[in-house]
Amino acid sequence: MSWLAPLGFLGLLAIIALILIYIIKPNYQQKFVSSTYVWKLSLKYRRKRIPVNKLRNILIFICQVLVITSCAMILSRPVIPNEKPDEIPQAIYVVDASASMLTCGNGSIDTNGECRFQEALNEVRIDGMEIMANNGKVTVIIASENAYILAQDVTQQNISQFTGLIDDLGKKENIYNNIAFGRSDVEGAMSIVEELLSTRENATVTMYTDTEYSSGVKDVYPADGGAKKTVDKDAIVDIKLVNNSRNEHNIAITEARSILQGNLYKFEANIVSYGTDQVVFVNCISYGANKSSGVSQTYAFDKQQVELTDKTPVLVEFDSNVGDDENGIFSYERTRIFITDINGNTLSDAYAYDDEWWFYDGEHPEVKIQFSADEDEPTFLTSAINALRTQLKNKWDIRIKEYKSKDDGEPQTEGFDIYLCTGKKTLSQRPIDGHVLLWAPDSNAKLSTMFDISINGEIPTSSSPLEIVNNNHPIFNNVRGENFSISKVLDISVGGNYEVLAYCDGNPVLWIDDTQEQKIVVCALPFDFADTAVLIDFPILIYNIFNYCMPTTLTSAYYDIGQTITVRARGKNLSIKGSWSDATVVENSQSKSLQYKIIRPGTYTVSQTLMSDERKDEYFYCRIDSYESDIFRVEDRLEGPTVENGFVRDDLDLLLWFAIALVALLFIEWLLQARENF
């Protein structure tokens, strides 16, 4: 039996008070005197009574003492422990797996160097084996992108399994898969610790990290082996720092930008030093520069010498718009900004993941549009596709080839991404590649065998609006059908897999067949019998059709760690591959798009096979979080685990039983008092 509130035994002092009461209580003697002779005679015949009064008084006193004792026991909250608390040593280790833990003071992981993460794992192995040697239990939590338990309650019997898990995690190929290149889930790790502490009274909690906290932690043990520093004695978590044990430092590109000024590019980068003052060179090289001029070249800017002081950012600029414009950069395949030491050699800092930056936004995917029309064709479609080219110049390099006059020759049936036809000038056969837009084709055009449509003449309408079947269809984004006023439409019959998108006065006027890779769009709205061309909705409609047929594969050439991107296919066999390996990180041969969460920095290659069977590659770059570049960062507070009032056990509470005994004693004492008085 144990007592949760031992001070309750002070209630036993009431027994002393009870004894004092009995001592000072007046002692009255009771005598019977008969006043008549009859009573005197009756005394001879009275049976001799047993002297029970004295015994009754003793019993009442004992009951009162027991009542006081029961009250004292209730106040002290007696319990019988269901299980004796585990006295064996228990340790919970949390290993921070943030990207800065890849810092290597003696090279890099790729050159067999030991990083901070590996150093932390080695210390966990040593400390854990010592705990297990004393019959203790060890739990290891990895604070990666999502915190998880690596090993739980490992004992000496499973020591080989424990060391195997630690060794496997410390291998280069496994480290990269477990490091959080964004932000590590320290908060999630503390939640796991809090849950574990609810059933582990004697467990100690130690976190290995390179982040120094100014509050929220108990003791901090420096990496250089110095004396511990107590930060918050009421906290639970001890911190073992794994930084600056090898005089580490880092020179980082924390941010970079490509800026198009006029027609020429300029590049900027912010350079920061952590842990040292140093002079470095910042370099910038553009590859495949000015390819559209017919002469692709490598353009190397003059390297710039930069003097850095600890944690003070320096802005470095590389402007190609200097001197003669002919020497400037108006397009490029890729540009690299990187840091070297003062001798021009590869930078030998402790953190190699932020020493360079890549740009892939210097040129845009090329789209070839073939536009075939009659010589007297109104310029509405021409104006619309020219406006489209201007509007999308930052996404696409649109090249337009027109076939109108006889001198232009016959329209081609291959080599283009979009075939736009109107009037009599149409295609001789169905293209083997590219999407097709037939806008008010002439009735003499032989389209039946190619596209499974036939033109039967014209149908007059009463200046009717465009009746859109599904306003949520991407082709009608921001298009209002009621703005149109149409007095005549073409009577077109379609077969196959065409879907009607819009009507006019009950007549279908817009169809699409997107059941195959090649999309076919047919429109029955002639320009000379409608106000279509003068409406703002017309260029919007052309823009939407273009976007629907030619989705932008990537919306940017740069993304952040942890960002989920949508990659839209305009071909088949879509795949994404990282620069650190030949392996494909994600692949989808069927879907028109895929989503991918970026969890590792570097250059990514997005590949797909176009309808022309050409394998098309596009690139984007993901930079490590600049927060991780500060390898000596200090945070205000660690939100550690919260444990309510210590350890909670499933003990047998005796409070009820002593309450029952108290009531029983009070009843017996009352019964004895009643027998004495009546």
Helix axes 116-133, 159-169, angle to 10 degrees: 180
Query: Which pLDDT tens digit goes with each residue over 123-174?
Result: 999 999 999 999 999 999 999 999 999 999 999 999 999 999 999 999 888 8
Domain final position from 528, 549, 570: 549
Asked if 598 and 494 sit in the same domain, the reply is no
Residue 419 has a pLDDT of 94
Predicted confidence at residue 543, as pLDDT, reads 93
What CATH number did the domain enclosing 212 receive? 3.40.50.410
pLDDT value of position 383 = 85
**CATH code of the domain covering residue 288:** 2.60.40.3230
Check residue 281 and give its pLDDT.
96
Per-residue pLDDT tens digits for 16-53 = 887 877 777 665 555 555 556 555 555 555 544 445 66
Range of the domain at 265: 251-337+348-355
Tell me the three state secondary structure of residue 66: helix
Question: Same domain for 387 and 443?
Answer: yes
User: Which three-class secondary structure state does DSSP give residue 127?
Assistant: helix
The residue among 498, 514, 549 that closes a domain is 549
Q: Are residues 225 and 146 in the same domain?
A: yes
361, part of any domain = no
Tell me: do 525 and 592 sit in the same domain: no
What CATH number should be reported for the domain holding residue 599?
Answer: 2.60.40.1930
- Cα 666 to Cα 341: distance, rounded to the nearest angstrom: 91
Query: Per the domain annotation, does 121 fall within a domain?
Result: yes
How confident is the model at residue 523, as a pLDDT? 92
**Which ranges of the chain have pLDDT less than 50?**
47-50, 323-325, 645-648
Place of tokens 């949760």: 4
Please name which of 622, 620, 514 lies closest in space to residue 567, comparing C-alpha atoms.
Answer: 620
* 410 & 498 share domain: yes
Residues 173 and 312 grouped into a single domain: no
Owner of token pair 């309510």? 644
Total domain count, the chain: 5
380 lies in the same domain as 258? no
pLDDT at 606: 92
Which residue has 């295609």 as its token pair?
Answer: 427
Residue 638 lies in a domain: no
Q: Looking at the structure, tell me whether residues 382 and 461 fall in a common domain.
A: yes
In a domain, 421, yes or no: yes
Tokens of 458: 């014209």
Residues 238 and 270 in one domain: no
Task: Examine residue 219 and state whether it is found in any structural domain, yes or no.
Answer: yes
Output the domain CATH number for residue 496: 3.40.50.880
Question: Has residue 635 been placed in a domain?
Answer: no
Q: Look-up: residue for tokens 């003449």?
A: 457
Angle (CA) 459 461 465, round 5°: 125
Amino acid, res. 80: I
Residue 263 domain-assigned (yes or no): yes
- Same domain for 372 and 503, yes or no, is yes
Three-state secondary structure string covering 194-261? HHHHCCCCCEEEEEEECCEECCCCCEEECCCCCCCEECCCCCCEEEEECCCCCCCCEEEEEEEEEEEE
Contact in structure between 133 and 89 (CB atoms under 8 Å): no
Is there a single domain that holds both residue 539 and residue 565?
no
Total residue length of the chain = 678
Last residue within a domain, chosen from 248, 265, 295: 248
Taking alpha carbons only, the member of 619, 183, 592 closest to residue 363 is: 619
**Would 643 be classed as within a structural domain?**
no
Tell me how far apart the alpha carbons of residues 353 and 243 are, in angstroms, rounded to a whole number: 17
Which one-letter amino acid corresponds to residue 291?
K
Looking at the structure, tell me whether residues 264 and 281 fall in a common domain. yes
Q: How far is CA 611 from CA 352, 392, 434, 590, 614, in A?
A: 41, 22, 7, 14, 7
